[in-house]
Amino acid sequence: MSAIKKLFGIVWSLMGIGIIPLVIMQAMKEIAAKPSEENWIFWSIVIVVLMPIIAFSLITFGVFALKGEYDVIA
Partner 1 sequence: MAQHVTNVSQTEEVSSTRRVIAASSVGTLIEWYDFYIFGTLAKIISEQFFPKDNPTAALLATLATFAAGFVIRPFGALFFGRLGDLIGRKYTFLVTLVIMGGSTFAIGLVPGYKTIGFFAPAIVFALRLLQGLALGGEYGGAATYVAEHSPTGQRGFWTSFIQTTATMGLFLALGVILIVRQSLGVETFSDWGWRIPFILSALLVGVSVFIRMKMSESPMFVKMKKEGKTSANPLAESFKQKDNLKMVLIALLGATAGQGVVWYTGQFYALSFLQNACNVEFVQSNLIISIALLIGTPFFIIFGALSDKIGRKYIMMAGMLIAVIAYRPIYTLMYNEADLKQKTEVVEKTTVEKKEAVKGTDTVTTTITKKTFTDGTTYKETKKETIPLDEAKKAALAAAGKLKPETKKEATLPQESYYKMIGLVLIQVIFVTMVYGPIAAFLVEIFPTRIRYTSMSLPYHIGNGVFGGLVPLISTRLVEATRPAPGLPPADPLAGLWYPILIASVSFVIGMLYISNKTNNMDVE
Q: How far apart are CA 67 and CA 33, in angstroms?
A: 43
Among 4, 29, 32, 35, binds partner 1 (CB under 8 A): 4
Min dist CB 50 to partner 1, Å, is: 6
Quick one: 21 or 37, whose CB is closer to partner 1?
A: 37
- Per-residue interface string for the shown chain with partner 1, residues 25-64, x marking contact by CB under 8 A: ------------x---xx--xx--xx--x---xx-xx--x
Task: Please count the other Cβ atoms lying within 10 Å of the Cβ belonging to residue 27.
Answer: 18
Q: How far apart are CA 29 and CA 7, in angstroms?
A: 33
